[in-house]
Amino acid sequence: GQETVSSKLKESLVPASFNLSEYFKQFLFPQNECELHDFRLSFSQLKWDNWILAPHRYNPRYCKGDCPRAVGHRYGSPVHTMVQNIIYEKLDSSVPRPSCVPAKYSPLSVLAVEPDGSIAYKEYEDMIATKCTCR
């Protein structure tokens, strides 16, 4: 009788038409949710390369995507964000939905040539987005 028992067990655990990827899809975040995106550029594209010597590559990154209705702690959003969402949905759609914007930045070190030919090493604040939020 062992064979019958084990086959019965198998049947009950995994239904025949089970699809694992379909099952996990329900846990994925929505595809276009608010998140950080890369944008690598060189200073020559900005026509700044005649005075910026370094770095050669610069990735300021940016935030893009939809703000979910229940932003909660994941985006560090204040309660105001949910209130604004409710106003947009229930009271007045001319009030914009919360936007996906940078919440934190990191600095950038730049080596530049001044018009008088002197060379400057400078550290600038808030040049690279490192975290997004819904506001």
Least spacing, CB of residue 75 vs other proteins, in Å = 23
Q: Does 115 bind other proteins (CB under 8 A)?
A: yes
Which range touches other proteins (CB under 8 A), out of 26-34, 53-61, 64-72, 84-92? 53-61
Q: Does 62 bind other proteins (CB under 8 A)?
A: no
Site size toward other proteins, by CB under 8 A: 34
Cα separation, 93 vs 97, whole angstroms: 8
Indicate the residue among 96 and 115 with the shorter CB distance to other proteins: 115
Binding site for other proteins (CB under 8 A): 46-48, 50-51, 53-59, 106-125, 127-128
